[in-house]
Structure 1
Amino acid sequence: MTEPDTAGPAPADPAFGAVADPRAADPAPVEAVDVLLIEDDHQDAFLVEELLADTALSVRITWVTTLAEARTHLPAFRGCVLLDLNLPDAGGMGLLREVLTTASSAAVVVLTGLNDEHEGVAAVSAGAQDYLVKGQVDGSLLARSLRYSVERQRADEDARQLREAEMYARENMRLERGLLPQVLLDSSPLTHRSYYRPGRKRAIVGGDFFDAVQKDGTTHVIVGDVSGHGPDEAALGVSLRIAWRALVMGGVAEDAVLPALEEILISERAQDEMYATLCQASLDTGSERARIRLLGHPPPLAIRDGAVEEVAASPRPPLGVFPDGPPEVEEFPFPRGATLLLYTDGLVDAYDGGPPRRLEVDGLRRVLTDVLARGTSIVDLPERLVDEAERYNGGPLQDDVAMLLLTHGGPA
């Protein structure tokens, strides 16, 4: 059906009611409205076109006579569906529900007969924007109903998207609280500074997590990253972080913590391919040597007197890849006054001046040395470090970044 000619005189039709002069009632030009007319009666379809032709509303009408024909248009349709509830192949509320579900971004206005006005009321209750009774509609009323229905549908869609964004933000906050807790270091010789920044492409936190707990004279710290991005990974990260704290606080032997955590990962992950990289460090109170267990994770960096050194540790496969017993434990010097930087790979995956070369651990050590040489304090170090990484990267970092700085016997 082509767009109607709006230059002719207004008709007076017994099926839709007399029309005085709808152009005088609605003279202002408005945005064009796409109309999908689903109507099997040829005379009623012709009348819709004629009534709209004598209004200021610009319309583009697509006319189909059955639900089967309409199905090819509905999924991508964004305008207003003008729907007769009595079609040869469908009818009533079942027809309306399919149209509302399939054309979720379109407004729906229902056409009813004089004896079926109750159906129009029920249709609006079920989700239609409006209903019109044949024989009681003129062109101006029809045009206004179409235009306002589209506007209401857009307003409803905006409100729905706002509600979804608010729910998304609340869920994000809950996940963040689970991944990034208040550490338990009240009686520890270590003071801390934590930091988290989500990656550029995601509003929801990823699977990066950290924690630190002092138990029976030993401070244990962990940083980890679940492979992949999304709610499943974030939820698994929360599970691992909470489980790790429970194991440590429950007095599980240090060598048994990570094997137990691996069993939890295997039982909780959504897909068999999911794994986690981890770095755990442990320091006995009064000692200046710490123990480290590294499972597929970037090694920590130790800061002392302005010098930055990579903590030497033999990497093991990530948690959940090749379960083969307790990971190897190694020792490294952690004297008083030194600071240990644990971080996730979002920091070292930054490009070092552009692809394909990445910053990696050596580049991060170089950047950290430069930042410290400018007199940056430990308190301000995470933000300055990310700023420098983004400068090298040429823009915001793609992946999430979590950092935990621990200073032995000095303020953070």
Structure 2
Amino acid sequence: MTERSLASHTHELNRLQRLRILLVEDDEGDAFLVRELLSEADAPFELTVASTLREAQQQLAGIECVLLDLGLPDAEGIDGLRKLLAVADNAAVCVLTGRSDEHLGVQAVAEGAQDYLVKGQVDGVLLTRALRYAVERKRADEAGRRLREVELRQAESARLERGLLPKPLMQTDQVTVETFYRSGRALGLLGGDFFDVVQIGEDRLHVIVGDVCGHGVDEAALGVELRVAWRALVLAGVPEEQVLSALEQVLMSERRAREVFATVAAVTIDLPGNRATVRLAGHPPPVLLAGGHAAPVRARTGIVLGVRPTPTPATELEFTGHDWSLLMYTDGLIEGHTGVGEERLDVDGLCKLLDEPAARRVPLPDLPPWLVARADQDNGGPLTDDVAMLLISRGSGR
């Protein structure tokens, strides 16, 4: 490397490493001294000076490190530091103390400052090094904080998953149940979709799929409450026609706002009779796969839970033969685009996917993830909403 290119490289490195510093100091002499110390160390910096805390709060944009005097006209001691930290965002903070109040520097670090410096006891090199270390320490602290947040979210998601996505409570071998859930949110956090399967006695299988409007943790927690309440109601032997009304009462008492509602598809399967009762509260209908064809269940649909308490109508479904599958799902599966203009997949598009020869070759346990993969492909990318599915099959399932 030539002398000229070395100089150019050094200049570029200094430019990239240039620190943007905000000095909050009301004493012009001390402010001049700080500037001289930085210049003496030949430190690449952009120094902005504010004489009050109010002025400093207006100049924080783009600042990497704040050098704060603890004695200001509008903020004294630790109180001033606390006010600055509240608005400093990602900027590192170093405090300046006098020799007689060095103990304040220790307290400042305990309050959240990255470091403290005693006036008159630093030279240019030490000052520059302290500021750079403070910036790196702040970045490390922020990285650690984000890591902890991710870990907390993952732990929270795991707890919610146990509540939203339980293992089917069933003993029969007359039918099989495949479950599927995929979050549509960042970091894999669950939304308000839920499902459950409970067998009562030897002949009745109760199944539910639901979706609480919204995609936050509050909606997921409410989904857990509704799922647990539904299982308790079913196990307690509450008459089928009263279960969703009772579930709606739970929703209305536990929701965080009046506008929160839930859609539900509930099915009770009479195993010996080979028939089912379907109740839809604003939810997409199940899809029946039988005789080599997929078709939506033509069931009456009631209004969503949580708007106006109204009994959910029941529709009787007679299965033909003992080879069938019933696919229950949340609307996240059918709201993606098909690749044709703004057209959505919807229920008819889902049935067309299931009727494709490729779908018929997919083993039943793999059918839910296959459907999502195909929906992602047609959508031009991952579906944005949560997707929950239950596939209940008897015999060969098709």
Secondary structure of the 2:113 match is coil
2:250 aligned residue: 264
Q: 2-side partners of 1:114 and 1:214: how far apart?
A: 76
Q: Is the 8 A contact 2:290 2:397 kept in 1?
A: no
- The one of 304, 312, 337 equivalent to 2:290 is 304
Amino acid at match of 1:61: L
Displacement of 1:390: 1.2
Q: 2-side partners of 1:132 and 1:354: how far apart?
A: 64
Q: 1-side partners of 2:187 and 2:340: how far apart?
A: 21
1:8 aligned residue: none
Q: 2-side partners of 1:385 and 1:113: how far apart?
A: 69
1:11 aligned residue: none
- The one of 374, 381, 397 equivalent to 2:383 is 397
Q: 1-side partners of 2:227 and 2:112: how far apart?
A: 44
Q: Is the 8 A contact 2:95 2:113 kept in 1?
A: yes
Query: Is 1:160 the counterpart of 2:145 in the alignment?
Result: yes
Amino acid at match of 1:284: D
Query: Is 1:212 the counterpart of 2:226 in the alignment?
Result: no
Amino acid at match of 2:171: D
> Residues 84 and 375 (structure 1 numbering): CA distance in 2 closer, same or farther, change over 3 Å?
same
2:89 aligned residue: 104
Amino acid at match of 1:194: T
> Residues 118 and 340 (structure 1 numbering): CA distance in 2 closer, same or farther, change over 3 Å?
same
2:326 aligned residue: 340
> Residues 259 and 188 (structure 1 numbering): CA distance in 2 closer, same or farther, change over 3 Å?
farther
Q: Which moved more, 1:160-169 or 1:208-217?
A: 208-217
1:129 aligned residue: 114
Displacement of 1:354: 4.3
Secondary structure of the 1:290 match is strand
Q: Which residues of 2 match residues 2-401 of structure 1 at below 5 A?
A: 29=14, 31-74=17-60, 76-187=61-172, 189-199=174-184, 203-216=188-201, 217-324=203-310, 326-334=311-319, 335-370=321-356, 374-401=360-387
Secondary structure of the 2:189 match is coil
CA offset digits 1:10-58 (Å, max 9, x no partner): xxxxxxxxxxxxxxxxxx9471111110001101100100110122421
Unmatched 5+ residue regions in structure 1?
1-27
Displacement of 1:355: 4.3
Q: 1-side partners of 2:341 and 2:226: how far apart?
A: 33
> Residues 128 and 200 (structure 1 numbering): CA distance in 2 closer, same or farther, change over 3 Å?
closer
Displacement of 1:374: 4.8
Q: Is the 8 A contact 1:35 1:60 kept in 2?
A: yes
Unmatched 5+ residue regions in structure 2?
1-12
Q: After TM superposition, which residue ranges in structure 1, 4 or more long, deviate above 4 angstroms?
A: 371-374, 409-412
CA offset digits 1:322-345 (Å, max 9, x no partner): 212x21111112342211100110
Q: 2-side partners of 1:278 and 1:370: how far apart?
A: 28
* Identity, % of aligned positions: 52
CA offset digits 1:153-198 (Å, max 9, x no partner): 0010010001001101111111111111111111363210001111
Displacement of 1:206: 1.0
Q: 2-side partners of 1:245 and 1:374: how far apart?
A: 33
Q: 2-side partners of 1:231 and 1:275: how far apart?
A: 15
CA offset digits 1:72-122 (Å, max 9, x no partner): 124x45411101101112111111111112213111111111111111122
Judging by fraction of residues, say which structure has more helix: 2
Amino acid at match of 2:234: V
Amino acid at match of 1:290: A
TM superposition score normalised by structure 2: 0.92
Amino acid at match of 2:375: A
Q: 2-side partners of 1:275 and 1:188: how far apart?
A: 35
Q: Is the 8 A contact 1:200 1:397 kept in 2?
A: no
Amino acid at match of 1:137: V
Q: How many residues align?
A: 383
Secondary structure of the 1:352 match is coil
Q: Is the 8 A contact 1:200 1:396 kept in 2?
A: no
Q: Is the 8 A contact 1:77 1:105 kept in 2?
A: no
Q: Which moved more, 1:365-374 or 1:173-182?
A: 365-374
